[in-house]
Structure 1
Amino acid sequence: MTRPFVTSDGTPLRVEQTGPADADDTLVLVHGWTQDHRSWDRVVAELPRSIRVLRYDLRGHGESGQATPATATIDQLADDLAELIARRVPEGRLVLAGHSMGGMTIMALADRHPELVANRVEGVAFVATSCGGMNNISLGLPGFVGRGAAKAERRLAKLLVAYRREALPLRPGAVRAGARWLVFGSKPRRADVASVAEQLLCAHPASVGGFQNAISLHERRTALAALRTATTVVLAGDADRLCPAPHARAIADELPGARLVLFPGAGHMLQQERAHEVAEQLGRLLTTVRTEKPKVALGA
């Protein structure tokens, strides 16, 4: 079921709900940079039907409204998520799962809305994401080659801000080839590579460029302290070029009791490459929070 959602600044977000509306448990899935809600398709298909799942397209992505230069920030994404929770999930057990920039959005939520997180969020899954140091990523390449590749990526993001799809259309074949190398591990499914490329082509170019800059400035290690009372799992692929395994370990180090799971041979797109395992980990997380004392809704 798809229902319209408009943020307080007038930006429409595409929100999709599956599972019973009156379920005790709600899982909110937050996708990553250049992707949209479809990046979770394989995972959602394997989750128990008894769970209410909300997933949405971040502003500037998919079928949601464009992000302006001023709103193409992770702080803004956190505020959007806070609004979505307040209006669509005002009560019940709440678990958040964020992939890549989606995980960063959850960290920013903890930083900007600590009371909401303390009162409502009972479980968190960080999937192929980072709490900082993204400006120094070498894309899995050695030495100056890696630093040069990362610098070129940042320059490309700046060009995207001024890019007009009508004037210079991107070639799907080139996008698929780039995605295959950059965000997947060994032997990905062709359909998964095609899906990632299609989602990138649906994202608004200027928004994508703006958010890449926001990712490079992301530093939220200290913000993780607000999530120490939540049950947490950190998932990463050991062949991830964008958010290498040390970034997952840094998150787990800040969250005593967090479960760290590394997937051999997997790249950045764990929801496609290891969909069954990711669904299992989310199911386990939900089972764990059910056995703990529930938090109360704000204002209760």
Structure 2
Amino acid sequence: MNELKAAAVPGRERSAGRAAAASATSARSRGGARRWVEAGALLGVGAAAAAWESARRRDLRRIEADPAGVALFERPRGEERDVVAPDGTRLRAELFGPDDAPPLVLVHGWTCARRFWAEQLHALADRYRIVTFDLRGHGDSEAPAGGDFSIDALADDLQAVLDATVPDGRRALLVGHSLGAMSIVAWAGRFPDEVERRAAGAALLNTGVGDLIDQSLIVKLPRGMRVAKAVVGGIFLSASGPLPPASPISLRAVRYVALAPSATPAQIAFCQEMVLACRRDVRAGCGRTLSRLDLADAIASLTVPTTVLGGGRDRLTPPPHVERMAAALPRLAERVELPRSGHMGPIEDPHAVNAALERLAVTAGVAPAVAVVS
């Protein structure tokens, strides 16, 4: 029996050895698999980072090579002036051109700044007395102490700018883009007695007077989901979270939301820079105003010759807005559609926009001595 026990011990030891060896092999196998997974993950991260950097550099090369960037990023410099709104908010205005030239007041839109009008300054500042200003909270203008970004406050701001920059007895062409155009319509409704005294004509570019969320093409949902679209649209307009830094993704997001596929790299980058520079509280405050905007009654007070212009590829204020405004205006001067343009018409198709403004000046009887009307 002892001999059998003695003989069995080496067998157990060999079995245990084989088990240990198998366990070690299994551990090495798991460790190897884990290292392969880790290596694969690192390779994936590295590949993604390389692709991201490649896209970023490619975008930069395209932007730098785009001739449109010269006019956009190297805008003229004018005479800066501070204007104080009725509620005490300080607005930064800038004036260009000869003092005795016909006044042209340019009002930019949501999340932009007065430099939005770079193309118009290059083309028109030698023949017009151009006034630009930053909407409250935008660019170099102060944000209102009480957080008032209402459309009435924006109308009051426009009245203050006109009082400070357009001499008595002179009538200006009022040109607004998006929220800037809405501010002009709101001004007309708020100050109807001032309209024909202060304005010779008006141009409403890429804008609307209501139903902005319902008509928007940013989020496309079936007709039966209007409530869901209203919720999503309201969140989009009034979101106060920080925007991501400039990147290949943000560049493409700005193009999708605000420009047409035909927009050039410099045009997209210029718009991206303005949007990302806008303060988040200002973006949200004005967005809330846009989400509940209704100027259907006010537009009847805009009793001067008025041009309405829209982009055929505008997702934010698509063509039905142009049709609605054209039908409601007391003195429609011209209806213009830029079929290949998105929401940023003055940037995407500046020659067509500038020509439309010059035609309006002729219609309104305030054209300079030399004007391009074709």
TM-score (norm 2): 0.71
> 1:153 offset after TM fit, Å?
4.3
Query: In structure 2, what is the Cα distance between the partners aligned to 1:93 and 1:138?
Result: 34
Letter of the 2:285 counterpart: G
Query: In structure 2, what is the Cα distance between the partners aligned to 1:96 and 1:155?
Result: 31
Identify which range, 39-48 or 283-292, moves more after superposition.
283-292
Partner SS, residue 109 of structure 2 = coil
Which residue of structure 2 lines up, in the alignment, with residue 17 of structure 1? 95
Shift in CA distance, 142/152, structure 1 to aligned 2, threshold 3 Å: closer
Shift in CA distance, 138/81, structure 1 to aligned 2, threshold 3 Å: closer
> 1:152 offset after TM fit, Å?
3.1
Which residue of structure 2 lines up, in the alignment, with residue 272 of structure 1? 347
Query: In structure 2, what is the Cα distance between the partners aligned to 1:107 and 1:177?
Result: 32
Query: In structure 2, what is the Cα distance between the partners aligned to 1:291 and 1:10?
Result: 33
Which residue of structure 2 lines up, in the alignment, with residue 187 of structure 1? 262
Shift in CA distance, 94/68, structure 1 to aligned 2, threshold 3 Å: same
| One of 104, 116, 134 as aligned partner of 1:39 | 116
> 1:256 offset after TM fit, Å?
4.4
Which residue of structure 2 lines up, in the alignment, with residue 260 of structure 1? 335
- Which structure has more relative contact order (CA 8 Å, sep 6+)? It is 1
Q: Once the two structures are superposed, what CA deviation does each residue of 1:88-113 show, in whole Å capped at 9, x if it has no partner?
A: 11331211000000010001101111
Is the Cα contact below 8 Å between 1:68 and 1:207 reproduced in 2? no
Q: Once the two structures are superposed, what CA deviation does each residue of 1:51-71 show, in whole Å capped at 9, x if it has no partner?
A: 100011101111111135641
Which residue of structure 2 lines up, in the alignment, with residue 297 of structure 1? none
Q: Once the two structures are superposed, what CA deviation does each residue of 1:226-271 show, in whole Å capped at 9, x if it has no partner?
A: 113x111100001100001010111010124411111112110001
Query: In structure 1, what is the Cα distance between the partners aligned to 2:146 and 2:115?
Result: 25
Mark the runs of 5 or more structure 2 residues left unpaired by the alignment: 1-78, 368-374
Which residue of structure 2 lines up, in the alignment, with residue 54 of structure 1? 131
Q: Which runs of 4+ in 1 moved over 4 A?
A: 145-150
Is residue 314 of structure 2 the alignment partner of residue 240 of structure 1?
A: yes
Q: Once the two structures are superposed, what CA deviation does each residue of 1:98-153 show, in whole Å capped at 9, x if it has no partner?
A: 00000100011011111111322110000000011113134255434996566334
Q: How does 1:112-261 map to 2 (within 5 A)?
A: 112-144=190-222, 151-160=231-240, 163=241, 170-173=244-247, 174-228=249-303, 230-258=304-332, 259-261=334-336
Query: In structure 2, what is the Cα distance between the partners aligned to 1:282 and 1:44?
Result: 12
Is the Cα contact below 8 Å between 1:137 and 1:150 reproduced in 2? no
Which residue of structure 1 lines up, in the alignment, with residue 184 of structure 2? 106
Higher helix proportion: 2
Query: In structure 1, what is the Cα distance between the partners aligned to 2:213 and 2:252?
Result: 24
Letter of the 1:132 counterpart: G
Partner SS, residue 66 of structure 1 = coil
> 1:21 offset after TM fit, Å?
1.9
Query: In structure 2, what is the Cα distance between the partners aligned to 1:206 and 1:68?
Result: 12
Partner SS, residue 130 of structure 1 = coil
Identify which range, 133-142 or 54-63, moves more after superposition.
133-142
Q: Once the two structures are superposed, what CA deviation does each residue of 1:162-188 show, in whole Å capped at 9, x if it has no partner?
A: x4xxxx562112432211101111221
Query: In structure 1, what is the Cα distance between the partners aligned to 2:202 and 2:331?
Result: 12
Query: In structure 2, what is the Cα distance between the partners aligned to 1:209 and 1:221?
Result: 23
Query: In structure 2, what is the Cα distance between the partners aligned to 1:61 and 1:237?
Result: 24
Partner SS, residue 123 of structure 2 = coil
Query: In structure 1, what is the Cα distance between the partners aligned to 2:230 and 2:314?
Result: 14
Shift in CA distance, 182/278, structure 1 to aligned 2, threshold 3 Å: same
Letter of the 1:245 counterpart: P
Identity of matched residues, %: 34
Identify which range, 72-81 or 257-266, moves more after superposition.
257-266
Which residue of structure 1 lines up, in the alignment, with residue 55 of structure 2? none
Is the Cα contact below 8 Å between 2:262 and 2:340 reproduced in 1? no
Partner SS, residue 59 of structure 1 = coil
Identify which range, 122-131 or 169-178, moves more after superposition.
169-178
| One of 254, 260, 285 as aligned partner of 2:360 | 285
Partner SS, residue 58 of structure 1 = coil
Is the Cα contact below 8 Å between 1:69 and 1:210 reproduced in 2? no
RMSD of the alignment, in Å?
2.1
Identify which range, 136-145 or 203-212, moves more after superposition.
136-145
Query: In structure 2, what is the Cα distance between the partners aligned to 1:138 and 1:83?
Result: 32
